Structure 1
């Protein structure tokens, strides 16, 4: 889930939208609701927090409007330095909230008093798994996503002298041995993207998801209470042992912060580097360099125990979720917003957008389109095999990526040692209310 740069949700049945909005299924009242000029369009906005698909989302909005001429849908986004929750909050503060707001899953609860109850929507019954807060569905799961070590299959096949099997990497030591083989072929084994959202909400969060107790919320509660000692935590240290291996073989080791998302994607796609840590959304950027490339996932090992199931699992979850504003939006605008969500789930053009243009794994059982890109296929294979850990980035506060992403960046550039990193993480969580 690239930041604006993985529970689930629901929508009003299309029949209800048709009934509420006129015989053609399109809301025809103006922004003022009842009594408006029927010739005016209902204007709604969508806050898109997946900037890598901003153009695709804009194209989808155009396709939706073409089939719903009574609705005008504007797609807005957040600045690179602004988190989705910050952008949504600023819009509310200005009195102009987005009609539909796409946020990281962990931030939806902050807006539950402003979110329309979608529990009665048709698509709730088609969800692959429930998505509720306090017994209600208040958000629409836009994407199932996951993270791990993304590899270029051609590069790894050459390094191992045959068909590379990602299941062969079950420990940190096995990963290090693989990297030595890759290096011997003249290719950089790894390129680490320095993005704070990636290092903070995605890599670091693996430590939250792979604790022996298996309960993310319980471990975060320990951190908040000051009861977790990370310096002596085996999973945390195991994850950083792996990170140290990644640093050792990093293509950008001379200037690690200079490696941004686009650089890391191009390096792996072109075969300049064998692997990077990121999520399946990276395919959009990778295919700019290598549209026909074959790529896959290797889980991030957190120990040298080959029997540890976490070492064979990807972090997977419903990362991006959309809620509909009920505080400032008229009934007509809410109905139009629900019509858009229905369009995504039930119309051919909407389904095609999700699978083939946004390159996400839909969260709905009724969408049976074959996944069109190798990273989505790889992710789905892990998920279907039960090799998944929680996408713990869904459980963290909105500023986690920025604060602890910066802490991870200091560790990446050797400006903080492991003890200092552990202390900063513990201090952050003790400040979380």
Structure 2
């Protein structure tokens, strides 16, 4: 494989790809030395918060030692990492292993930057198919997930008790809305979430959109309209605050942390904060419209192998990737990153060690990638009209159906 001229046009698309980086709460390298055996192998990751003394950095060095090579690791800001990866590919100076946010995989793959797992012989057989799908395009797989995070509903037990609501009865949209009505009647606040006009808002809308049975290729379907109507009705009835229009996932969490709200839609990355909140909390899956767990979008990174002019380097890259994603190492890494593992074996181990992860494992097992269904780089062109639609409807400017009809027209034109 060689890096095609598509990498040049990918630079224009990178601003769109960059906004996808929302779920995970998380300087340059020089040329890698050539040769398949021994030498120095570069690994770029999006974890600049971990310095050389961290467990993560030590794991990278151990994997290098086990493979008989020296690892040079560089941590970048996530958005900067994608730009650097494209530039490096154009200059034939890519790292040997690149760890990148999962929605960006399709951008890099379409630009010809990444090898497939068939090229490098990376074994993905144990990975949950719904998680692996975020790194697939046109029937090919471009890496292996290091772990995943997603969304669920946190609840405040004291608020629900005062409203005489049993969280176990919240199984679908009608039962959730009924619970919110009881909470409001008891003088408390219902649910907070992020509906900001960015990818962060789309990330939080997708469980309701997908949970209604809607598809991203038809934003204005009856199912999509039902999802947006659910949100707008909550605001109209006072079950959710108008602040959701400007809430990020962080400010939404801060509202929940006041202790006044019954529910908050948020992610695994808030578990540590939940334990510090000062009130008893619990977690339930986001319900689908008619029941079951709604598919929520996945966050988390993929471990990939960029294209090299020296194909002999792939054998060692495969060893490094295999080491980083092995069961024992994935368990330690996913605990550090507050991720649910990508394989059922490690997921079971996580739940045995921490029962709080039971709901999160179920949520991840039902989740799907934003670029799945072979959407790839079309997803950003759909997401922006979608968030424009729910902003318009929630602010009262348009009905849910009119807002999504306009969005569908815009998305269809952008993805032709």
Give the alignment's TM-score, normalised by structure 1: 0.69
Query: Match of 1:425?
Result: 407
Q: 1:8-407, aligned counterparts within 5 Å?
A: 31-34=32-35, 41-46=40-45, 48=46, 55=49, 59-67=54-62, 68=64, 70-79=70-79, 89=86, 92=89, 99-105=97-103, 107-108=105-106, 111=109, 113-119=112-118, 121=121, 123-129=123-129, 133-134=137-138, 136-160=140-164, 163-165=166-168, 167-172=169-174, 174-195=175-196, 196-204=198-206, 206-207=208-209, 210-211=212-213, 216=215, 220=217, 223=218, 230=220, 233-248=221-236, 249=238, 252-253=241-242, 255-283=243-271, 286-287=274-275, 289-290=276-277, 294-302=281-289, 308=290, 311-316=291-296, 319-322=299-302, 324-327=304-307, 337-346=317-326, 348-354=328-334, 356-367=335-346, 368-371=348-351, 376-381=357-362, 388=366, 390-391=368-369, 394-395=372-373, 396=375, 397-399=378-380, 400-407=382-389
Query: Match of 2:4?
Result: none
| Partners of 1:269 and 1:293 within 8 A in 2 | no
| Partners of 1:239 and 1:301 within 8 A in 2 | no
Q: Quote the Cα distance in structure 1 between the aligned partners of 2:22 and 2:262.
A: 24
Alignment partner of 1:5 is 2:22: yes
Cα distance, 1:143 vs. partner?
Answer: 2.8
Change (3 A) 1:406 1:338: farther
| Partners of 1:187 and 1:274 within 8 A in 2 | yes
Partner SS for 2:49: helix
Cα distance, 1:111 vs. partner?
Answer: 0.8
Q: Quote the Cα distance in structure 2 between the aligned partners of 1:187 and 1:175.
A: 15
Cα distance, 1:188 vs. partner?
Answer: 1.7
Which 5+ residue runs of structure 2 have no aligned equivalent?
1-18, 24-30
Partner SS for 2:350: coil
| Partners of 1:209 and 1:392 within 8 A in 2 | no
Which 5+ residue runs of structure 1 have no aligned equivalent?
7-29, 303-307
Change (3 A) 1:274 1:336: farther
Cα distance, 1:148 vs. partner?
Answer: 4.2
Query: Match of 1:18?
Result: none
Cα distance, 1:276 vs. partner?
Answer: 2.3
Q: Quote the Cα distance in structure 2 between the aligned partners of 1:159 and 1:87.
A: 52
Cα distance, 1:243 vs. partner?
Answer: 0.5
Compute the RMSD of aligned alpha carbons: 4.0
Deviations 1:343-389, CA, capped at 9 Å, x for gaps: 333263442121x22222212244242236666321334677xxx47
Q: Quote the Cα distance in structure 2 between the aligned partners of 1:205 and 1:393.
A: 14
Q: Quote the Cα distance in structure 1 between the aligned partners of 2:333 and 2:349.
A: 11
